[in-house]
Amino acid sequence: MDITGGVPSSYHLSDNLPYVHKVGKPPRQKLCTEIAATLKETFFHDDPLRPFKDQTKSRKLVLGLQALFPILEWGREYNLSKFKGDLIAGLTIASLCIPQDIGYAKLANLPPQYGLYSSFVPPLVYAFMGSSRDIAIGPVAVVSLLLGTLLQHEIDPSNKEEYLRLAFTATFFAGITQATLGFFRLGFLIDFLSHAAIVGFMAGAAITISLQQLKGLLGIKKFTKKTDIVSVMRSVFTAAHHGGKKKRKFFWLPAIAPLISVIISTFSVYITHAEKHGVQIVNHIQKGVNPSSVNQIYFTGDYLVKGFRIGVVAGMIALTEAIAIGRTFAAMKDYQVDGNKEMVALGTMNIIGSMTSCYVATGSFSRSAVNFMAGCNTAVSNIVMSCVVLLTLEVITPLFKYTPNAILASIIISAVVGLIDIEAAILIWKIDKFDFVACMGAFCGVVFISVEIGLLIAVAISFAKILLQVTRPRTALLGKLPRTTVYRNIQQYPEAMQVPGILIVRVDSAIYFSNSNYIKERILRWLVDEEEQLTKNSQPKIQYLIVEMSPVTDIDTSGIHALEELHRSLQKRDIQLVLANPGQVVIDKLHASSFANLIGEDKIFLTVADAVLMCAPKTNEP
């Protein structure tokens, strides 16, 4: 029963000379090796430097530049057929984005041209630095709403000059946050917003936006003649939208429907001079390309801190959307997207955007889906969209003067309704009730209280779930499956029989300071419960307590103390503590702390079956 490792002898169940396989004690890793391995797994788990191995210096330089600007890599293999797909996709998403941009800018309480600016520069920057081939960049509804809400807490939107400056400051810091997270490979922090909480948060934001827009829509219902036209437009638009959804072949229908509706309605209002009769119109979009806004960002003073805080929040929400989109399409088309590299690209995009009169841009769900279905191949579709927006800014903006706000409101509503993912919510309900509580909590927080509180609830619930996982790990009593040597959870396998005189407990987690005390108390409670039952039924007492430790991936000082206290408590009751199947790391620490000596090295076994064999040979049958 020596566990210092050695040559195993033969072992056959049907013999009655069981030889217990030795528990291997692995060679002690050097401290440096251990730290290096941990750092690698934490920050570089996707091995980004793999392609750099065994390359010449100049090659490494080229690879480095390509890593920073992926366009240098896929640009070399660009051809005409790919351009055809990107051209069509680009034109399609451009027609979708132009009316949306004007609407989303209003959500953020900004003049409409800033939405168009944010569809011009950011996609260009992304095309050079980003890795996703299907994402469509631009302002999005949820981030625009979030930004608008947070900004107007600080400055009244009627104070246009300062409001704009704060918006640029927030965008700048959003970009800084995103780039920093990506650069320091802290991307995994985004994973902490549980998927369920995000589903709830998005749905709540969508409801909030829709209700806001409906108010605007309903405001013009007094004027029947013109509203007829508007209502007609709305019905046409919705019909086209639904029609397109049903037939994938006509995917482009819901994509260009917004633009068509805008064109038709603008024309109608222009002809009938409906604006003189009360129909709210856009009225004025500044012509011309993005002016520089570097000198408008607050680099000092009170607003710097406020802009920083808003920027961090908006930046992280924007990241969550973009990364989710990037991963989804990458999985569908089976290519890899490096999350941290994406964050650097998105961050740089927003930093440059903040200096060219753009506000926070990110990937848009609806536009990326359209981009994907329209057959995009690379990020050139974003470049095409940029060019169309540029054209619009330089030439077409005066034509939007007569666009009714109602149409824009309809477009926004139909865009955000897609964010309400009922199917996902139902799936969440079916799979994990706690997840569903998180989902509903975030949803209700956004709808009934405010966007920031909803977000806070989403984050808090995500953390509570992690806390729960960490502090209350599962434990299970094991029993032997008849005619096997397999020990399984007696609650899951009713046919599993417990061994008389032996209590077998499996601990399903690493034993750290956060749960060591709980685990010790829980095991003792299993024991007390069992002994109560046995005394009732006049059965023999427990003599051995075997702890199955295969799920215990690690143990720290608090864990060792807990085991020592458990051993002491058991000794007082004349029960022997036995350990089965401890992992590599745990064996190391049991020896380092001399716990292995305390308990006796012959009390540590490879499997539960071996432990039972040694403890109670009479009662055990193979």
Asked if residue 108 lies in contact with residue 359, where contact means CB atoms within 8 angstroms, the answer is yes
Tell which positions 85-124 bind its own copies, by CB under 8 A. none
Count of residues that bind its own copies according to CB under 8 A: 94
Tell which positions 345-404 bind its own copies, by CB under 8 A. none
**Residue 42 touching its own copies (CB under 8 A):** yes
Among 2, 26, 250, 278, binds its own copies (CB under 8 A): 26
Taking 3-state DSSP, the helix, strand and coil percentages for the chain, each rounded to the nearest 5, stand at: 65, 5, 30
Tell which positions 531-560 bind its own copies, by CB under 8 A. 550-551, 553-558, 560
The CA distance from 49 to 30, in Å, is 23
Tell which positions 405-424 bind its own copies, by CB under 8 A. 424
**Residue 18 touching its own copies (CB under 8 A):** no
**Residue 568 touching its own copies (CB under 8 A):** yes
Tell which positions 436-465 bind its own copies, by CB under 8 A. 462, 465
Smallest separation, CB 536 to its own copies (Å) = 14
- Residue 549 burial class via C-beta count within 10 angstroms: exposed 0-12, middle 13-18, buried 19 and up: buried
**Residue 526 touching its own copies (CB under 8 A):** no
Among 4, 33, 235, 484, binds its own copies (CB under 8 A): 484
**Residues 6 or more apart from 97 whose CB is under 8 A from it?**
119, 136, 138, 364, 367, 385, 389
**Residue 13 touching its own copies (CB under 8 A):** yes
Smallest separation, CB 431 to its own copies (Å) = 5
The CA distance from 277 to 273, in Å, is 7
**Residue 49 touching its own copies (CB under 8 A):** no
**Residue 522 touching its own copies (CB under 8 A):** yes
CB atoms within 10 A of CB 567: 18
Q: Which stretch binds its own copies (CB under 8 A): 24-32, 109-117, 243-251, 393-401?
A: 24-32
The CA distance from 526 to 254, in Å, is 61
**Residues 6 or more apart from 465 whose CB is under 8 A from it?**
194, 434, 435, 438
Tell which positions 571-590 bind its own copies, by CB under 8 A. 572, 583-584, 587, 589
CB atoms within 10 A of CB 347: 24
Nearer to its own copies, 113 or 328 (CB): 328
Distance of CA 329 to the CA centre of its chain: 14
Q: Which stretch binds its own copies (CB under 8 A): 58-66, 164-172, 349-357, 492-500?
A: 492-500
Specify the DSSP element, H or E, that contains 281: none
Nearer to its own copies, 165 or 506 (CB): 506
Among 2, 4, 33, 35, binds its own copies (CB under 8 A): 35
The CA distance from 310 to 360, in Å, is 11
Tell which positions 295-334 bind its own copies, by CB under 8 A. 327, 331, 334
Among 18, 24, 48, 85, binds its own copies (CB under 8 A): 24
CA angle 268, 273, 279 (to 5 degrees): 85
